Amino acid sequence: MQQDQNALDEKCSVTELQLLSHDSQSNLAHFLRSARATFDGADQGLGGFLNFKGFLDALQCLGVDMTYHQRLALFMNSELDQDGLITRKEFSETYLRILLFSPNSWH
């Protein structure tokens, strides 16, 4: 369990460094870059997809504050083709919806 947390901390740190290196021209572009960088960091060798664990890790890295059940519902609503995996596009669209409709759920 500690090894998993260390790996997640390392992924989040890499994502934060990638984000700091960008000059944001707009908030939307910045948030989409955040989503893409976090997605890439959480991709667990699935070739451009996130399973549920990777999805949870990515939301944690982005600072999304939701209960486990809210995250599960979000995953199920985001995972459009019902294969148990989230694409980068699905993840980015989900993150954008979180930002637009639940601004108090992230920090």
Report field, pTM of the whole predicted structure over 0.85: no
Say if residues 98 and 105 touch (Cβ distance below 8 Å).
yes
Q: In this predicted structure, what is the pLDDT of residue 50? A: 93
Q: In this predicted structure, what is the pLDDT of residue 18? A: 46
Say if residues 94 and 58 touch (Cβ distance below 8 Å).
no
| CATH tag, 2-105 | 1.10.238.10
pLDDT (tens digit, 9 = 90+) per residue, 68-81? 999 999 999 988 88
Q: In this predicted structure, what is the pLDDT of residue 26? A: 65
Averages of pLDDT over runs of 10 residues in the chain (107 residues) are 54 48 58 84 84 92 88 90 89 84 54
